[in-house]
Structure 1
Amino acid sequence: MYETACPQFNFILQPEFPLNALILASDALRIANQNSGREVFRWSFVSETGDAVRASNGMWFAADTSLAEMPVADVCLVFEGNLPTQRNTQRLLGALRAAARFGTIVGGVDTGAFALAQAGLLGTREGADIVLHWEAVPTFMERFPTAVPRNRIYLVEAKTVHCAGGVATLDLILDLIARFDGEALANEVANALVHTRREATTAQRLDGFLETEENRLSARMISVMEKNLDFPLTLDDLAEALDVSARTITRICGRTFGQSPMRLYLKIRLQAARNLLFYEEHSIKDVATACGFSYPAVFSRVFKAQFGQTPRAFRAALRERQSLAVRPEIHRLISRAETRPG
């Protein structure tokens, strides 16, 4: 159990952060105080400048303070979502390093592991365990290839925590409540939120598979495909990696996914490419190469056939929406000025 008088949590909000995760985290602490009849925990909402921050659902959330003026905390969690690297400034990374030096438990929610890794707080050893939202794992591995992403909902180490976001945030906070104030209070909060606590090792996704031999093979097949994006395997190579016949793979793909193995493989590579375009700023050529397309023109053609836009158009539209979220009142004034008659 952590020993401290009244633990302080700092929730650092990055642009496009997941609001659902923040609400679960802060409400769990509120209920802990309410049910205890006293102030057991304190928390502050922090943004880089102290201004309101736009969440991924478009809502704006007011901050209590800035990074420069945030209180000394026992726990400091970075809430990050759709922009995991673009807004991680040196001011943020420096604040995280300073907090860690003074013994604060530093963590990341959803894609917050990017900030922790950029700040050098996940360890430099090869094979360091990390947990973040499963959708962002390929992008993370492009930047930090020696890390080992774990298919679990959260991870608590000595002074570092990280979790997959969403409802997993509640499980992490309940774990921290238990470590600060005991299992009884954590279970009481879980009951108040009509939630059954889950172990940290609970898998992020089960893909809806029943535990049959065929479904286990399907899951293994997808895993092999996802681990071999840059140099796609042939059907025979895939069969060898899974130690089954090519005919078996073809039959299972058709029955489970309604696709041929190579068609399924292509869609997995395209989804990985879309995630890279969504989360990162790699060139179109680099994204194509990372996902096994030798020629950007071929990549552009099949991407458009799948998603209705070329990779360049997809990224441009996405970045325009995200840029309009920053100080929207200024964008509105500019737009009015441009449409006003001369």
Structure 2
Amino acid sequence: MSQEKGTLNTAHFQSHLKHANLVFTAATERKTTPDAKKACFVLLDHFSMSAFSIALDTLVTLNLVHNQSIYDCKTYSLNDNKTLSDISITLTTDGNIQDISLRKDDLLVVCGGFRTVLKSEPQLNKIIRKAVQSSATVMGIWNGGFYIADSKIKDNHTVAIHQDNKAIMAERFPGLHVATSSYSEEGQILTCSGPNSTLDMMLHFIKLAWGAENAQAVAKVIGADRVSETDNDISNRFLRADSRIPDCIKESIILMESNIEDPLTIDELANLVGISRRKLERLFKSHIGVAPARYYMEYRLTRARQLIQQSNLSIFDVSIACGFVSSAHFSRTYHRYFAQSPIDTRRTTQSS
């Protein structure tokens, strides 16, 4: 396998962990391709800088964890190529909304904020209607849902909006349903009520549009600080949310993630979750896409890559921490999966 010297290659990975590792490979140097989809952010005056940053960050991270750049992200204002954020920082945008043209599967994201004045914007309404007609996805952040409702693209639909704006929504759009949850999804229309729900909405969208593996990989990068005390890894939250995955598989993965330095055997895993080894292997292949032993190895190597890049542990200590019987065995296995030795990974990290 030929590759540029000093870059990782995750082609040997077979599970969703390939995406989680891609963000640390040469993919981070990837440039936007001509066929990338557009992500057009309309920044209203006093838009929420934090909510906008989260939405933008998820798409930029998706580009990094995917094997090609998916979205070309641009910002737009209502006029004058500039807009004022909620923290009094003026941003120069890439254009005005009249510059927006959308195709199927592009994104139009309307970003509002606590002090955004809610009033009809005929030009924005026109852009939103055109986006829907073009089969683009339309999102409203904070009170961006007001403009989606005002564009009258759909009767009796559901919109999630900030608590302070629910009164005006009820008064202005009596036939509208205001979501009780923090974000709402109805086909190609997604809305959320503030910064905290923006990440949930964006991950939900990525899961729908690009699959759970990509959503999980993005969450590993920008949502890891939201892991609860009962979660060993951000993937656990995704696994628990997927009703199609049997509990025994979820429990097996949690056990793997809790036993890195002294790995369990597949027989031990099967006994601990109360099924036969043969059934465990069959269910893993069916729901995770790889055998349990393969997933376990890929998870341990992912942990090893993290320790090599982010700690001062010796390669020998990393091999022990990740359950390898010798540093020689670890180095051979690491090279097979990443097409690079552990030493080269550390040198590349330190020189970047």
| TM-score of the two chains, using structure 2 as the length reference | 0.51
**Residue 187 (structure 1) shift:** 1.0
1:124 partner letter:
D
Find the aligned partners of 2:182 and 2:155 in 1 and give their Cα distance. 22
Among 161, 171, 195, the alignment partner of 1:166 is: 195
Partner deviation per Cα, 1:32-71 (whole Å, 9 max, x = no partner) = 2223353122211111235111011211122112212124
Deviation above 4 Å: which 4+ runs of structure 1? Answer: 196-199
Question: For residues 89-128 of structure 1, what are the structure 2 equivalents within 5 Å?
Answer: 89-121=121-153, 123-125=154-156, 128=157
Match of 2:108 in 1: 76
Question: For residues 204-219 of structure 1, what are the structure 2 equivalents within 5 Å?
Answer: none
Contact 1:84 1:114 in 2 (8 A): no
Match of 1:12 in 2: 42
Find the aligned partners of 1:146 and 1:180 in 2 and give their Cα distance. 29
Partner deviation per Cα, 1:235-279 (whole Å, 9 max, x = no partner) = xxxxxxxxxxxxxxxxxxxxxxxxxxxxxxxxxxxxxxxxxxxxx
- Tell me the SS of whatever aligns to 2:194: coil
**Residue 133 (structure 1) shift:** 0.9
Find the aligned partners of 2:36 and 2:80 in 1 and give their Cα distance. 24
Give the share of equivalent positions with the same residue, in percent. Answer: 21
Partner deviation per Cα, 1:304-327 (whole Å, 9 max, x = no partner) = xxxxxxxxxxxxxxxxxxxxxxxx
Q: In terms of mean alpha carbon deviation, does 62-71 or 103-112 score higher? A: 62-71
For structure 1, which runs of at least 5 residues remain unmatched after alignment?
A: 203-342
Contact 1:7 1:41 in 2 (8 A): yes
Contact 1:25 1:169 in 2 (8 A): yes
**Residue 31 (structure 1) shift:** 1.5
Match of 1:190 in 2: 219
1:83 partner letter:
T
Match of 1:38 in 2: 68
Partner deviation per Cα, 1:170-218 (whole Å, 9 max, x = no partner) = 111112222222111111111111245889xx9xxxxxxxxxxxxxxxx
Contact 1:11 1:78 in 2 (8 A): yes
Contact 2:45 2:83 in 1 (8 A): yes
Find the aligned partners of 1:131 and 1:98 in 2 and give their Cα distance. 22
Match of 1:148 in 2: 177
For structure 2, which runs of at least 5 residues remain unmatched after alignment?
A: 1-34, 228-233, 242-352
- Tell me the SS of whatever aligns to 2:99: coil
Find the aligned partners of 1:27 and 1:124 in 2 and give their Cα distance. 32
**Residue 129 (structure 1) shift:** 2.1
- Note closer, same or farther for the CA distance 1:75–1:138 as it changes in structure 2 (3 Å cut): same
**Residue 164 (structure 1) shift:** 0.8
- Tell me the SS of whatever aligns to 1:10: strand
2:192 partner letter:
C
- Tell me the SS of whatever aligns to 2:39: strand
Find the aligned partners of 2:50 and 2:166 in 1 and give their Cα distance. 20
**Residue 84 (structure 1) shift:** 4.2
Match of 1:66 in 2: 96
- Note closer, same or farther for the CA distance 1:107–1:32 as it changes in structure 2 (3 Å cut): closer
- Tell me the SS of whatever aligns to 1:103: coil
Find the aligned partners of 1:130 and 1:21 in 2 and give their Cα distance. 17
Find the aligned partners of 1:106 and 1:177 in 2 and give their Cα distance. 14
Match of 2:85 in 1: 55
Task: Give the number of equivalent residue pairs.
Answer: 192
1:130 partner letter:
V
Find the aligned partners of 1:9 and 1:171 in 2 and give their Cα distance. 18
- Tell me the SS of whatever aligns to 2:109: strand
Contact 1:84 1:112 in 2 (8 A): no
- Note closer, same or farther for the CA distance 1:83–1:114 as it changes in structure 2 (3 Å cut): same
**Residue 132 (structure 1) shift:** 0.5
Match of 1:287 in 2: none
Please provide the CA RMSD for this pair.
2.2
1:106 partner letter:
V
Match of 2:332 in 1: none
- Tell me the SS of whatever aligns to 1:78: strand
1:46 partner letter:
Y
**Residue 75 (structure 1) shift:** 1.5
Question: For residues 284-295 of structure 1, what are the structure 2 equivalents within 5 Å?
Answer: none
Contact 2:40 2:74 in 1 (8 A): yes
Match of 1:328 in 2: none
- Tell me the SS of whatever aligns to 1:111: coil
- Note closer, same or farther for the CA distance 1:38–1:96 as it changes in structure 2 (3 Å cut): same
